[in-house]
Amino acid sequence: MLGEKIEDALNSQLNAELYSAYLYLAMNAYFESIDLGGFANWMRIQAQEELSHGMKIHDYIIQRGGRVILEEIEKPQTEWESPLDVFEHVYAHEQKVTGLINDLVNLSIEEKDHATNNFLQWFVEEQVEEEESSSGILNKVKLAGKDASSILMLDNEFGQRMFNPPSSE
């Protein structure tokens, strides 16, 4: 059974994951509006990943006898100056999510909830990957600058990304 503090914190993280999906869908729409379909695809896949992360937390709360409480999802930003601006936002957002996950891990240690701590280790590893991926893409976009052919090359690359749902383990 989940303790009240852990249950509340997991519900809060569920909301944060759903917000992340919402944010990446807003970025997808932005890229669609400027005809960068590959960039849009990358964001759509990212939104799907974040939704699956949220569902992983949703299911864990239920598995541990808790109650999922869905709260209002904050409206995300919808306009950006450039692809670079978007990916700077992505990288900063992933760093923020890492902090939220770390806070959850700290709480699970404080509350001596070893099962939740074990569950959260998947998210710790996932955030290492998310930060590495978003940092790498940010660097590529920085290198491309305002060079249209470089941006189109990246657009083609990002169009190849496919959604791979996380394993249930």
Give me the tens of pLDDT residue by residue for the chain, a chain 169 residues long.
899 999 999 999 999 999 999 999 999 999 999 999 999 999 999 999 999 999 999 999 999 999 999 999 999 999 999 999 999 999 999 999 999 999 999 999 999 999 999 999 999 999 999 999 999 999 999 999 999 999 999 999 999 999 988 765 5
What's the pTM? 0.94
**pLDDT score recorded for residue 164:** 86
Q: What is the DSSP string of 73-129?
A: PPPPP---SSHHHHHHHHHHHHHHHHHHHHHHHHHHHHTT-HHHHHHHHHHHHHHHH
What angle, rounded to 10 degrees, do the helices at 83-110 and 4-33 form?
170
**How far is 89 from 96, CA to CA, in rounded Å?**
10
Q: What local confidence, expressed as pLDDT, does residue 168 receive?
A: 56
Nearest residue to 16 via CA among 71, 78, 64: 71
Q: Looking at domain 4-158, what is its CATH homologous superfamily?
A: Ferritin, core subunit, four-helix bundle (1.20.1260.10)
Per-domain residue ranges of the chain: 4-158
